[in-house]
Amino acid sequence: MLQQPPTRTEAEMIAAILAGDTQLYHGLIRPHERSVYMMALSYMKNEADAEDVAQETFIKAFRGLASFRMESKFGTWLISIALNEARTRLRRQAIVRMESLDEPPDENAKVSPALLRDWREIPSEIVEREEVRRLLQRAVESLPEIYRQVFLLRDVEELSVNEAAQVLEISIPSVKVRLHRARMMLQKQLTPQLKTVTAAPKRRWFQWS
Amino acid sequence: MVIECKHVWDHISEYLDGTLTADVRETVQKHLDQCEICSAVLDATRNIIILTADDRVFELPVGFSERLHARLDSELRSDT
């Protein structure tokens, strides 16, 4: 996973916005819309609330832009604001989520992977298929919350282990353990499903010939 | 050193991230080189990470950007 420091242009844009060229803010945030929304959604659980949190995040970030320090990435800073906004809202709404009532998942319990001898690489083109996208979405959504958040930050939004630890306010070893479990859970669930899906069209074809 | 499959699985995530220590990595690598099942587990995990990271999997709701930028516009106007 490639990590990039704040690009020159991003830093320059921020300086220009602070100097008064506020319209540049639209362009500055465009690359970060999806990650902010995704992380908001992972907390809020419904699209309308997640969109609201995302909008609020970008407005707060605009108002607080002068306090952004270049030593962290702009994208990571935005995600921190989004997660704080989401946490505050959940507290305010006094939403007691089911997962917080249950025993937290045991981080020491092992997840055994799906064992297949004849796994073949599935090409990226497969995600053009709606059913495959839905399988992948559903598998990620079904992860316990603490694993889903780490997985999204690391493997979808490509934050470093340190950045993920920072925005989630957890330790680095916890990030690693949770990420490992998330990946193993996805492997276990998705491997047989993806095999079936990728094998299906052929079977259907021969059935009728 | 020889390790069992289930111990290799514990290291898959860090193996993929390249964060194992040199000696653990070597032990894991030796096992992977001769164990069909574990190398299939590794390949499947890597493949699934690549697929879920694809931009087309998680998309913004329709109209999200338009609504966001419209709201920002009124915020930016009130700022100046």
Task: Give the residue extent of every domain in chain B.
Answer: 5-79
Count of CB atoms within 10 A of residue A202's CB?
A: 9
Average pLDDT, chain A: 85
Interchain CB contact of A119 with B (< 8 Å): yes
| Contact list, A189 vs chain B (CB under 8 Å) | none
Q: Token digits for A26?
A: 């639209």
For residue A105, give the amino acid letter: P
| Contact list, A188 vs chain B (CB under 8 Å) | none
Whether residues A148 and A194 share a domain: the answer is: yes
Q: Do A37 and B43 touch (CB under 8 A)?
A: no
A40 min Cα distance to partner chain B (Å): 12
Task: Select from A78, A98, A118 the last residue of a domain.
Answer: A98
Rounded to 5 degrees, φ, ψ at A136 are: -65, -45
Is the distance from CB of A166 to CB of A59 less than 8 angstroms?
no
Q: Do A180 and B14 touch (CB under 8 A)?
A: yes
Q: Which of A172, A183, A193 to mutate to test the interface with B (most CBs of B within 10 A)?
A: A183
Q: Token digits for B80?
A: 């100046």
Task: Select from A81, A98, A115 the last residue of a domain.
Answer: A98
Of A25, A59, A186, the CB nearest to B48: A186
Task: Select from A54, A71, A98 the last residue of a domain.
Answer: A98
Q: Token digits for A110?
A: 């092992």
CATH number at A48 reads 1.10.1740.10
CA angle B67, B71, B76 (to 5 degrees): 145
Q: pLDDT digit string (tens) for A60-112?
A: 999 999 999 877 889 999 999 999 999 999 888 765 555 554 556 676 677 88
By mean pLDDT, which of A22-36, A119-133, A158-172 is the weakest?
Answer: A119-133
A208 min Cα distance to partner chain B (Å): 31
pLDDT at position A209 is: 42
pLDDT at position A94 is: 66
Q: Token digits for B76?
A: 């930016």
Burial of A148 (0-12, 13-18, 19+ CB in 10 A): buried
Share of chain A above pLDDT 90, in %: 59
Interchain CB contact of A145 with B (< 8 Å): no
Nearest chain A residue to B74 by CA distance is A59
Whether residues A174 and A120 share a domain: the answer is: yes
Q: Is residue A3 part of a domain?
A: no
Q: Do B36 and A34 touch (CB under 8 A)?
A: no
Q: Is residue A209 part of a domain?
A: no
Is the distance from CB of A28 to CB of A17 less than 8 angstroms?
yes
pLDDT at position A197 is: 81
What is d(CA A23, CA A91) in angstroms, rounded to the nearest whole number? 33
Whether residues A124 and A192 share a domain: the answer is: yes
pLDDT at position A144 is: 92
Q: A7 pLDDT band (50/70/90 cuts)?
A: low
| Contact list, B56 vs chain A (CB under 8 Å) | 127-128, 133
Whether residues A116 and A88 share a domain: the answer is: no
SS3 A138: helix
Q: Is residue A22 part of a domain?
A: yes
Q: Is residue A2 part of a domain?
A: no
Q: Which domain holds residue A64?
A: 8-98
| Contact list, A62 vs chain B (CB under 8 Å) | 72, 75-76, 79
For residue A166, give the amino acid letter: Q
Is the distance from CB of A88 to CB of B15 less than 8 angstroms?
no
Mean pLDDT (whole number) for A117-127: 79
DSSP, residue by residue, B6-39: HHHHTTHHHHHHT-S-HHHHHHHHHHHHH-HHHH
Share of chain A above pLDDT 70, in %: 84
Q: pLDDT digit string (tens) for B6-55?
A: 899 999 999 999 999 999 999 999 999 999 999 999 999 999 999 999 88
Q: A182 pLDDT band (50/70/90 cuts)?
A: very high
Of B19, B37, B79, the CB nearest to A115: B37
Q: Do A22 and B80 touch (CB under 8 A)?
A: yes
CATH number at A123 reads 1.10.10.10
Tally of domains in chain A: 2
Of B19, B44, B79, the CB nearest to A116: B44
Contacting residues for A85 by C-beta, under 8 A, at least 6 apart: A40, A53, A56, A57, A60
What is d(CA A68, CA A70) in angstroms, rounded to the nearest whole number? 6
ipTM: 0.89
